Amino acid sequence: MGISKEYMDMGDSYFLHTYNRYPIVLDHGRGVNLYDAEGKEYLDFAAGIAVFALGYGDEAYNNALKEQIDKLIHTSNLYYNAPSALAAKEICRVTGMDRVFFTNSGTEAIEGAIKSALKYAYTKAPSDEYEIIAMEHSFHGRSMGALSVTGNPHYREAFGTGIGHIKFAVYNDYESVEKLVTEKTCAVIMETLQGEGGIHPADPEFVKKVRKLCDDRDILLILDEIQCGMGRTGHMFAFEEYGIKPDIMTAAKALGCGIPVGAFLMTERVAEKSLVPGDHGSTYGGNPLACAAVLAVLKEFEEKDIVSHVRELSPYLTEKLDRIKDSFDIVTDRRGMGFMQGLEFSVPVAEVIKGCQEEGLILISAGSSIIRFVPPLIIEKEDIDRMYEIITKVLQKL
């Protein structure tokens, strides 16, 4: 344990205790591998919670950041700068949206999306009673607005009533959404593929019907693509799978591949009636360094054709996960799309994750009984094989 033990003890003494951390001190990464302070190698199937899509040490990405650091890191949004203008143009192009606001995190992107929807409704007819329909088992972040639309009472319990006027429908149950609609409903917010809630993809019928409901009643559809976006499902954004477009969407996680950056985007139709100067802002949001990261990520995605790679290789991942499901009785389901998959267990998965760590494989859960597979998007067949061998070995021992 040596040096690692020292840092773990130090952290435990000074961090606010909000995380139950695994007993690993990570030191550096290469490609799809991470190394701890003692030099032990781990195959990373978590990517820093679906963030590090390009893997560790991507040369073009790292060089773009180094260049920008030497040039200009921050200016505030009182002025223009090249990386943020270019990143805005690129992210609008790849999402098919018209306007973007860059944030520092996913939860802030959700805050902005909520404010945008409320302002849109307010512009049409001023009122402080507009309602938002969110989904049970959703996860949208930890700030008060994002928490208020997060459909997990456990996360909200100690923190009051939230922003109010939020109603929860059942994901993939269209009638449950329809039933909640009133003349005050201004938005429906959901993940296109629920992540934290246990890797649940949206049903095509559900998405299409909600889209139509929103169109018919001028309700805004907000899709949270923070985890499922950026190539992870084999589409640049998961909503492409359904042949629909949101009115407002959010991105983060892999958007900056490790540099903290998020975004909320909207169509021109929404923007025309939504936030104006004075309504929203951020000191750091979309600063030159963050936007240099976004630009470099989008460029690498295109040059390496990451989305096609995910699409080509994900059937292989699916096949291996299905084989695990078929081989072990305690594995009860496999769900997901592309490189965003989950295996559901009939037992808590903490022991499995711990066992895999000891064997050099980093995995994370989504809830207590689901293992989530969100590897860097650059993994190859042999990485999937290695993952498969380690999990199989660990499950045989259990």
Ligand X SMILES: *Cc1c(COP(=O)(O)O)cnc(C)c1O
Task: Return residues touching ligand X (CB under 6 A).
Answer: 105-107, 110, 139-141, 191, 195-196, 224, 226-227, 252-253
State the Cα–Cα distance between residues 109 and 265, nearest whole angstrom: 9
Backbone angles phi, psi at 199, to 5 degrees: 55, 70
Query: Could you tell me the smallest distance in angstroms from the CB atom of residue 104 to ligand X?
Result: 8
**Residue nearest ligand X, CB atom distance:** 106
Query: Could you tell me the smallest distance in angstroms from the CB atom of residue 252 to ligand X?
Result: 5
Query: Could you tell me the smallest distance in angstroms from the CB atom of residue 224 to ligand X?
Result: 5
- Torsional class of 308: left (φ above 0), alpha (ψ -120 to 50), beta (otherwise): alpha
DSSP state for residue 31 in the 8-state scheme: B
Q: Which is nearer to ligand X, 113 or 244 (CB)?
A: 113
Burial of 30 (0-12, 13-18, 19+ CB in 10 A): exposed
Which residue type, as a one-letter code, is found at position 174?
Answer: Y
Q: Which is nearer to ligand X, 191 or 247 (CB)?
A: 191
Residues 6+ apart with CB under 8 A from 17: none
State the Cα–Cα distance between residues 67 and 292, nearest whole angstrom: 9
Report how far apart, in Å, the C-alpha atoms of 182 and of each of 201, 214, 218 are.
26, 12, 12
State the Cα–Cα distance between residues 281 and 159, nearest whole angstrom: 25
Which residue type, as a one-letter code, is found at position 227?
Answer: Q
Question: What number of other Cβ atoms are within 10 A of residue 79's Cβ?
Answer: 7
State the Cα–Cα distance between residues 119 and 113, nearest whole angstrom: 10
Query: Could you tell me the smallest distance in angstroms from the CB atom of residue 153 to ligand X?
Result: 17
CA atoms in the 13 A half-sphere facing the CB of 377: 36
Of 336, 308, 309, the C-alpha closest to 322 is 336
Contact by Cβ (8 Å): 147, 141: yes
Contact by Cβ (8 Å): 377, 53: yes
- Torsional class of 205: left (φ above 0), alpha (ψ -120 to 50), beta (otherwise): alpha
Query: Could you tell me the smallest distance in angstroms from the CB atom of residue 253 to ligand X?
Result: 6
Question: What number of other Cβ atoms are within 10 A of residue 311's Cβ?
Answer: 16
